[in-house]
Amino acid sequence: MEDIKDYFNPINKESFNRSIFKEGSYGFTLLNNANPLLSNNAGIAIIGITETRNSYPQEYSLSVDAVREYFYNLSEINRINVIDLGNLKQGKTIKDTYASLTHVSNVLISNGIIPLFIGGSQDTTLPILSGITQQTMEPALALIDSYLDVDTEDFHSKSYLHTLLNQFGSKLLVSIIGYQTYFAVPIQLRFLTDNHIEAVRLGNVRNSITQTEPILRDADLVSFDLSSIRQPDCPASCSPGPNGFYSDEACQLANLSGLSDKMKAFAICEYQSEKDTNGQSAHLVAQLMWHFIFGISQRKGDFPAKDLSTYKKIYVRFDKTDSDLVFYQNELNNRFWVEIPIDSSGNKRIISCSEHDYLDICNNEIPDRIWKNISRYLK
């Protein structure tokens, strides 16, 4: 593997009180590992990001060592090797930082290592995704956010969806989880419709958090804006508000993200250490990291790790398409996928869906998730 250590400022191990980390904790292992890149067969690489020059409305200073302090106290999860590469060095310009993020993401993912990013403003989603698209032709992005980050043609942490779609084109599938309706103006909702973006309101997610499972199972990257968590649970985010996910719900979303066999990277964005006077938010970020890693340890080896030919294949006649819709079912865990026709030549795209989606199609009803994916390819 290419040596990428020069891209990082390593963690200052002397700044941590090693004596407080018990054997079996992440701190005990990580702080006593002399050279993590060479001595670990890593499954996950923790990377701190301090880049906020494109944050909206203004740049802020950031340290993620408080997050590490809490994470290092947490118990190690069996079978998953974790390394901490330190903090990505900021470039002379923000474009330099973006280029580093893209390169590091690509190198790690191409070697089967999942980068776990902590910190940075959410505009860093774009360069991380750029690294992922060098490994997949049909990327999928899931954003966990209380806002619809499309405002103007300007590019910053609260308005980057235009740029994402312009750069990656129609092959990029974007989903938004947890947006709050009173923050969404009509022009933003039209943008979602025009670009076939699946968006699930906060209230709907909280009524049934399991409905996010197919979205997260499909994602190559999850970008988690901490502002989607309510202020009493996470006060040190960029845009804290009175409503949002409760901390346990946020941890469930992180866990579901890790469970996905397709997931290549996970980013926790918009942590503002200067607001974190009692360490509550750092503690929550550490637990989000832990739940994501735990999810990875519980993966089922499903598609794309397993070929679809091993699943039950089901043909369903559906009036709104010229041919049958084809579903695949893993009968061991009752997970479903569906083929989406993308052109007249018979090419398909496989997306995750729920059993409820499958039953709706059987009743000739069109679930929003499947319809958005079909309609994006209709001419």
164 and 188 share one domain: yes
| Range list of β-strands (E), the chain | 8-9, 44-49, 82-88, 114-119, 140-144, 173-179, 198-201, 221-225, 265-269, 312-316, 325-330, 335-341, 348-353
Query: Would you state the pLDDT for residue 379?
Result: 52
145 and 249 share one domain: yes
Q: What is the pLDDT of residues 163-186, one digit of tens each?
A: 888 889 888 999 999 999 999 999
Q: Is residue 302 part of a domain?
A: no
Q: Is residue 219 part of a domain?
A: yes
> Along the chain (379 residues), what's the average pLDDT of each consecutive run of 10 residues?
88 86 92 58 88 83 91 94 94 95 96 95 94 91 94 78 88 95 94 92 95 96 98 94 97 98 97 94 98 96 93 89 87 95 83 95 90 79
Q: Is residue 234 part of a domain?
A: yes
Q: Is residue 95 part of a domain?
A: yes
CB neighbours of residue 116 within 10 Å: 22
The tokens 């974190």 sit on which residue? Answer: 276
Query: Would you state the pLDDT for residue 357?
Result: 95
278 and 142 share one domain: yes
Q: Is residue 69 part of a domain?
A: yes
Checking 169-172 for CB contacts under 8 A at 24+ apart, the result is 170/376, 171/137, 171/138, 171/139, 172/129, 172/139, 172/140, 172/141
205 and 254 share one domain: yes
Phi, psi of 55 (to 5 degrees): -70, 145
291 and 313 share one domain: no
Residue ending a domain, choose from 273, 297, 321: 297
290 and 356 share one domain: no
Residue ending a domain, choose from 254, 276, 297: 297
288 and 330 share one domain: no
Instruction: Compute the distance between CA of residue 64 and CA of residue 87 in angstroms, rounded to an integer.
Output: 8
- CATH at 28: 3.40.800.10
Q: Which helix (H) or strand (E) holds 308?
A: none
Q: Is residue 50 part of a domain?
A: yes
Query: Would you state the pLDDT for residue 38?
Result: 38
214 and 237 share one domain: yes
Residue 305 DSSP one-character state: S
Token pair belonging to 336? 């479903």
Mutual angle of helices 125-133 and 161-168, in 10-degree steps: 20
- Helical H segments across 122-269, by residue range: 125-133, 161-168, 186-194, 202-207, 213-218, 247-259
How many folded domains does the chain comprise?
Answer: 2
Structural domain harbouring 357: 308-375
236 and 267 share one domain: yes
289 and 331 share one domain: no
Residue ending a domain, choose from 297, 319, 342: 297
Query: Would you state the pLDDT for residue 115?
Result: 97
157 and 61 share one domain: yes
175 and 291 share one domain: yes
Q: Is residue 303 part of a domain?
A: no
52 Cβ partners below 8 Å, 6+ apart? 59, 60, 61, 62, 120, 121, 157
Residue-wise DSSP of 205-230: HHH-GGGGHHHHHH-SEEEEEGGGB-
Q: Is residue 189 part of a domain?
A: yes
Partners of residue 83 on adjacent β-strands: 45
